[in-house]
Amino acid sequence: MATDEITGDALTDKLRTLSMGHTTPTDLHTQPTVNTPQKDTSQLQVASAPSTVLASQKVLSQRSPGSSRSKRVVSTPPSKDKRTASAALGVAVPTSPGNPSRRSSSNIVPSPSSAILQKPETATNKPDESSPTAATVACAHFRRELRQHDESEGVKNLKTVVIVHDSCYGHRYSRPRTTKANLSTIVERPERIQASLLGVAAAYVRLGRKYSKALRSSNLEPDSGLPTGLPFRIQKTTRSVDLTSPVVTNTHGTKWMEELKVMCDLAESKLALGGKELVRPDGENASSASNDPEGKPKLHEGDLYLCSESLDALQGAIGGVCDGVDAVFSGQGKGIGARRSFVCIRPPGHHCSSSYPSGFCWLNNVHVGISYASMMHGLTHAAIIDFDLHHGDGSQAITWDHNAKVARLPKNAANSKKTAIGYFSLHDINSYPCEMGDEEKIRNAS
């Protein structure tokens, strides 16, 4: 017998020293004979279990060829020393990737199943960190585009500007002990800004038409012979407009804006104590149907929330709107500069009336922007084209109220106070705020 082979007696001795020291050979049961086709047993094949599973191993032992003794099955309990147990059984345990142990028998062939289960840590299986992915390629290109954007001298003369404000991320739902069912109804979240900016990034690259050939080849460099001009300007602003400034109070009134600031300042402490951040400062929330002229309608907790950073988000959103207005009006007299502004901000505003927030909207950003344009740039006419799924009941209510006031002004009133506003909406009348069948809301949305 070759020196690499293990005889049945030697194998029994090995097993006895490992876990069956007090068991005699008579304790070992003989495997019952089964009428199955005989296979060639000239070589012994042992399927090694995965390195993480050595709970129970079965070893087939046999004598030298020609022996009449039947096969025996020896079962051993788990061994604490996996390497020692495997070596005693003649199972190869790799000491290094691709290098089997010297003690392994030459007639042992690993089974295909064990090769699939085992995951040797070889250099070939490790992902190549230098390999480009769709995300890394896109980030690299957009980063290069932004660098070119910032260094370009003609960026201020582009016809479209996109305004972004980092403070708008801060406004978020922060009530403790909220169920998953309630969280699923909070559809207005900071992620909306991220989704919008992904669309802005895609539009920037697509409108630039610099990488159209890369869709049909492996070339990831800018196409030659195509326009190299920038499609639009991206402007990050840090401007903040106080809620009590005339720009805001012309639309929402001084008293309500002062109250909103107090609510924002107290939101964090109320939430920390398990209270409700939407309780109005006087502590007396009247019913929305109250006939008391001094009664304050209760704010709806299902689609309104405040946190410690809400004030910065609200004032930053107004600052972004004012920057967008300035960008359009600053170069109009000279025929240069932006003609369109896309202000990527939140919270939204078209459900908010002059004195009552609703539908995740605390300030009517569009009407505040019109007020700012009238005061600072002499705007005389404005049109609101609302293409949201929902009817902008707040924007429409402010428009009607504003136009009614303008009609009563004397003819010699300043033009900035007589700005005519038109509101036009494309919406689903079966959606919010008409889905409950409120006749007045349906009539106004019709």
Catalytic residue list? 351
Q: Which residue has tokens 């002229």?
A: 293
Burial of 266 (0-12, 13-18, 19+ CB in 10 A): middle
Taking every pair of Cα atoms in the chain, the longest distance, rounded to a whole number of angstroms, is 123
Reported residue count of the chain is 446
Q: Are 98 and 123 in contact (CB under 8 A)?
A: no
- Asked whether 400 and 444 are in contact (CB, 8 A), the reply is no
Q: 241 to each of 82, 246, 319, 348, 390, how far by Cα in Å?
A: 69, 10, 5, 16, 28
As a whole number of angstroms, the distance between CA 78 and CA 53 comes to 9
Question: Is the peptide bond preceding residue 176 cis, with omega within 30 degrees of 0?
Answer: no
Q: Angle of helix 82-89 relative to helix 8-18, nearest 10 degrees?
A: 160
Nearest to 358 by CA among 294, 432, 285, 431: 432
What beta strand segments (E) does 152-216 contain?
160-164
